[in-house]
Amino acid sequence: MMYSVCLMMVGLVLGLVAVASNPAPYFAALGLVVAAGAGCGILVGHGGPFLSLVLFLIYLGGMLVVFAYSAALAAEPYPESWSDVSVLGYVLLYLLGVGVAALWFSEGWYESSLAVADSYKEFFVLRGDTGGVALMYSFGGGMLVLCAWVLLVTLFVVLELTRGLSRGALRAV
């Protein structure tokens, strides 16, 4: 289990490097999906499967909206990919920076610090993530409605800004 969590951590770092180094929104959205999937895999490895499922669905929905709007606003006929010289230079620079930081801060780390949360499962009465979901629904219902309202208003504002022709604020046609 620890090897899969370490593999997910490597996937998270590679996904974040892919997002940070790529100027084209098409390939950066792929890096976001990889980073979100690896981050949710890390949460599963540490004992939060329901939380990671909810976060992954929220990430995918949000990234779909962000990708659609960024692809509509920055429509490039030939977007730069990871194999282009300028982007590849940034990828190597970020990976070198991550490697140097890992060597610098890894002095006190051991593999036992990545223990899985469900290793003492016979002593657990209730899983932590399901208890947190019940608490969220019992005390956080008002905040959930407020956040849904804010997201709906934000959607309408973005649609109004990117409407097109001469009526939108961001597009000059």
d(CA 119, CA 5): 14
Nearest by Cα to 161 from 72, 86, 76, 51: 72
CA distance 52 to 5: 14
Show the CA angle centred on residue 142, arms to residues 68 and 131, nearest 5°: 90
Q: Cα–Cα distance between 30 and 19 in angstroms, integer?
A: 8
Long-range contacts (CB closer than 8 Å, 24 or more residues apart) made by 72-75: 72/162, 73/162, 73/170, 73/171, 74/24, 74/25
The DSSP-derived string for 124-137 is -SS-HHHHHHHHHH
- How far the first Cα of the chain sits from its last, in Å, is 54
Whether residue 36 contacts residue 61, with contact meaning beta carbons closer than 8 Å, is answered with: no
Query: What is the chain's pLDDT, residue by residue, as a tens digit (173 residues)?
Result: 778 888 999 999 999 998 888 777 777 778 888 898 999 998 888 777 877 888 888 877 777 777 777 677 666 777 777 778 888 888 899 999 999 998 888 776 665 555 555 555 666 666 666 666 677 677 777 877 888 898 888 888 877 776 655 554 555 54
How much is the pLDDT for 165? 58
CB 114 within 8 A of CB 2: yes
Distance (Å, whole) CA 80 – CA 35: 20
